[in-house]
């Protein structure tokens, strides 16, 4: 396994590239063996879809199979129950170095069409005493403009349609390693994923990734074992000598006692130095991760619901600020005419929270979506700071408006999205209208009408959910407690049906209080602001 520790795990990861979501499936299954060989099984499958014609994507399976056989792959046909057809390629590489030939093989077959020509990755070695760590960082640009298809020249509505399907990208990568090798996704070692881990990569965005492999330093373990045996023999000899002289203290050698003490001190010193070295390496890695977290300016935009004001997320801002995770960055107020005024509270944080207030909190879903867009642009102008990535959080209808914004914009990368009891499938207007009327809400308002499961606004929103960008990391809360259980879990957790990049939690709080509860805020802070790699495993064994 000595060569395994150098490259085996890290050279497998660049096998990820762009696919057109909704009509292409690509999976890589790599298994590392003890003899340093690597078996790679790749699945390419397409499903008949109008987007394929739109992208001028032509399938030539016979030619691709012949190219695969020329490259040393065994092939077989692939047919799934959900109408995907394609082929599976399988090849065992004698050693890790041969894997580097993959880049040449990418120039043929489906990869020759879809793989970005300038995929880059860097491997850095961090020497340890018992384990050497190898860190892979890569930047995969998986946007529509990266596809190299002959005659592809899209603009206007066709381009928007194609981009919506690119956001449905679903690339899976499975890695299995032998016992004794540990892998992590750059956020910390997880005992559940030490031997097998599955990653999912998403399209429609530029993906940044870190993979760390901790590989045993075989020589160090052998030397450690030899030293341990020698020290054990010496200790046994001293103990035996001492036992022989125990009945005659005068014969108990002072030198034996001193020698035994030195052996003990040296053993403890060796353990302390080793642990310190390993911890120092880990601390350096953690420092790099934290730097990566804080160097990019990523604002969080908070959208209230029907009964909300600028105070809806005040407790949220206070909690995050008290824990040093983010700061109350601004309040942006949107008038009934759609004009936006932003008051900036903080200019220093890289994680500002921007609370958005609608003066007309009963406006239609479309208006709230447009106003959210206007508030983001106004904040960007007032803050005088450019940014590409944003986080969104929304309570009740604010979550629906934020989700509708995600489906209809392509200006920003929405990296993370948190919803608090948001009625994505609508709500029973009889119950909600009765409760709302007690608070002075007009039960015939555009917002109430749009919350009906049969409303035109909600129907249009749900139709677009088929192209929900699975690159967005989602955390949805559902409230089931107190007197105001207005939203059914099937509605508040609806996004589960459209993405697997989601966490859900049902909490014992009512609709109007769950977003202010400490445990909910704690989980939200962990999700939003504690550093996590963009390529978190979606399944571990």
Mean pLDDT of 88-94: 88
pLDDT of residue 42: 86
Between 193 and 501, whose confidence is greater?
501
How far apart are alpha carbons 472 and 469 in whole angstroms? 6
- Edge-to-edge strand list for the sheet holding 131-142: 120-126, 131-142, 205-216, 182-184
pTM of the model: 0.64
pLDDT (tens digit, 9 = 90+) per residue, 452-481?
888 888 999 998 888 888 788 999 999 987
Name the pLDDT band for 16 (thresholds 50, 70, 90): very low
Under DSSP, the state recorded for 11 is G
Mean pLDDT of 275-292: 47
Q: Where are the alpha helices (DSSP H) in 323-450?
A: 365-383, 397-408, 429-437, 446-450
Strand partners, 200: 172
User: Are 370 and 358 in contact, with CB atoms under 8 Å apart?
Assistant: no
How far apart are alpha carbons 485 and 239 in whole angstroms? 72
Residue 525 phi/psi, 5-degree rounding, is: -60, -40
How far apart are alpha carbons 323 and 524 in whole angstroms? 12
pLDDT (tens digit, 9 = 90+) per residue, 118-162?
665 566 667 777 777 766 666 666 666 666 566 666 666 666 666
Between 424 and 174, whose confidence is greater?
424
Residues 6+ apart with CB under 8 A from 207: 139, 140, 141, 142, 201, 471, 534, 535
**What is the pLDDT of the chain when averaged over all its residues?**
76
pLDDT (tens digit, 9 = 90+) per residue, 419-456?
999 999 988 653 455 455 555 556 667 888 888 888 88
Mean pLDDT of 172-197: 64
Mean pLDDT of 244-254: 56
Lowest mean pLDDT among 143-147, 172-176, 191-195: 191-195
pLDDT exceeds 80 at position 117: no
Under DSSP, the state recorded for 466 is G
**Angle value at C-alpha 157, between 151 and 163, nearest 5 degrees:** 70
Name the pLDDT band for 397 (thresholds 50, 70, 90): very high
Lowest mean pLDDT among 71-85, 155-169, 170-184: 155-169
pLDDT of residue 483: 61
Residues 6+ apart with CB under 8 A from 94: 37
pLDDT of residue 365: 94
pLDDT exceeds 70 at position 244: no
Tokens at 474, concatenated: 């989602």
Between 377 and 130, whose confidence is greater?
377
- Residue 61, by phi and psi: left (phi above 0), alpha (psi -120 to 50) or beta? alpha
Strand, helix or coil for residue 473: strand
Mean pLDDT of 253-280: 62
pLDDT of residue 380: 96
pLDDT of residue 249: 55
pLDDT of residue 9: 36
pLDDT of residue 375: 97
Longest dimension (CA), the chain: 102
How far apart are alpha carbons 6 and 99 in whole angstroms? 13
Tokens at 505, concatenated: 């939690």
Strand, helix or coil for residue 505: strand
Measuring CA to CA, which residue among 81, 91, 93 is closest to residue 45? Answer: 81
pLDDT of residue 384: 92
Q: Where are the alpha helices (DSSP H) in 295-409?
A: 314-322, 365-383, 397-408
Strand, helix or coil for residue 214: strand
């Amino acid at each position: 396994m000595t060569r395994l520790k150098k490259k085996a795990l890290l050279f497998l990861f660049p096998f990820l590239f762009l696919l057109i979501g909704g009509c292409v499936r690509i999976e890589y299954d790599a298994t590392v063996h003890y003899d340093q060989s690597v078996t790679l099984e790749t699945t390419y499958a397409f499903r008949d879809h109008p987007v394929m014609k739109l992208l001028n994507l032509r399938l030539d399976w016979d030619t691709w199979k012949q190219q695969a056989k020329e490259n040393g792959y065994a092939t077989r046909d692939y047919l799934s129950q959900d109408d995907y057809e394609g082929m599976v390629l399988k090849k065992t590489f004698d050693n890790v170095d041969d894997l580097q030939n993959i880049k040449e093989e990418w120039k043929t077959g489906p990869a020759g069409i879809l793989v970005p020509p300038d995929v880059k990755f860097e491997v850095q070695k961090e020497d340890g005493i018992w384990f050497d760590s190898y860190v892979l960082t890569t930047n995969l640009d998986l946007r529509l403009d990266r596809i190299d298809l002959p005659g592809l020249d899209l603009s206007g509505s066709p381009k928007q349609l194609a981009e919506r399907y690119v956001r449905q990208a679903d690339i899976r990568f499975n890695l299995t390693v032998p016992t004794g090798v540990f892998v992590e996704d750059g956020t910390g070692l997880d005992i559940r994923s030490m031997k097998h881990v599955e990653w999912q990569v998403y399209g429609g965005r530029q993906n940044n990734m870190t993979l760390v492999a901790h590989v045993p330093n075989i020589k160090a373990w052998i030397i450690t074992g030899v030293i341990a045996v020698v020290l054990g023999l010496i200790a046994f000899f001293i103990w035996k000598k001492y036992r022989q002289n125990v009945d005659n203290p005068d014969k108990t050698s002072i030198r034996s006692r001193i020698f035994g003490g030195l052996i003990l001190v040296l053993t403890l010193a060796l353990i302390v130095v080793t642990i310190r070295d390993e911890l120092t390496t880990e601390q350096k890695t953690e420092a790099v991760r934290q730097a990566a977290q804080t160097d990019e300016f990523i604002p969080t935009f908070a959208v209230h619901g029907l009964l909300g004001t600028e105070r809806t997320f005040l407790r949220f801002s206070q909690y995050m600020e008290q824990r040093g995770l983010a700061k109350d960055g601004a309040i942006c107020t949107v008038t009934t005419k759609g004009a936006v005024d932003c008051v900036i509270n903080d200019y220093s944080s890289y994680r500002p929270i921007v609370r958005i207030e609608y003066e007309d909190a009963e406006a239609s879903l479309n208006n709230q979506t447009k106003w959210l867009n206007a508030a983001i642009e106004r904040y960007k102008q007032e803050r005088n700071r450019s940014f590409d990535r944003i986080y969104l959080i929304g309570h009740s209808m604010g979550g629906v408006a934020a989700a509708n914004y995600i489906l209809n914009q392509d200006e920003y990368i929405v990296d993370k999205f948190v919803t608090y009891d948001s009625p994505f499938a609508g709500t029973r207007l009889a119950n909600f209208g009765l409760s709302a009327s007690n608070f002075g809400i007009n039960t015939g308002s555009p917002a109430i009408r749009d919350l009906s499961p049969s409303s035109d606004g909600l129907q249009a929103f749900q139709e677009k959910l088929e192209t929900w960008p699975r690159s967005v990391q989602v955390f949805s809360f559902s409230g089931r407690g107190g007197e105001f259980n207005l939203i059914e879990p099937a509605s508040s957790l609806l996004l589960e049906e459209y993405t697997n990049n989601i966490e859900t939690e049902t909490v014992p709080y009512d609709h109007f209080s769950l977003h202010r509860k400490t445990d909910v805020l704690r989980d939200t802070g962990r999700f939003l602001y504690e550093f996590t790699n963009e390529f978190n495993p979606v399944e571990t064994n």
